[in-house]
Structure 1
Amino acid sequence: MLAIAAAIVFGFYLLLDLFDTNLGAPDLFNFPTMASLGLLLLALYLAGVGSGPRTGNSGSGRRFYGRRPGRG
């Protein structure tokens, strides 16, 4: 989820840059602020914070005990 939020932040800033607008707040929507926010969200995602891909005992997938079938 945080990676998607980071992509949205980067996409929003790209659109602001392409249309050459600052939405009336040039100090809020500048490159260092948006890059810091996007990189913070990516770092939190990579650190495991938020609802990223989950593995473990979630009940999904197949469980194999002993030898796995089809492995020779």
Structure 2
Amino acid sequence: MPARPQRKKPLPPGPSSGKYEGANHADRWRKRKEEGQRWRLSKNAVIWALIVIAMATSVTLIVLKAI
């Protein structure tokens, strides 16, 4: 029977190990999810602002051409 491969020992906590370890790993994913939602909301706001500006410009041009 072949020998089982040895498991790697976890790195000791230190400056290179990062902020999130063990059970706190879920916090990292939760934080990423919240940042993604915030980014999407700001992106949607910019898109809506561009749509409103385009509509206002179109209406203004139509009104000015009618005069």
Shorter-normalised TM range: 0.3 to 0.5
Tell me the TM-score normalised to structure 2 length: 0.32
Give 1 or 2 for the bigger CA radius of gyration: 2
Structure with the higher helix share, 1 or 2: 2
For normalisation by structure 1, the TM-score amounts to: 0.31
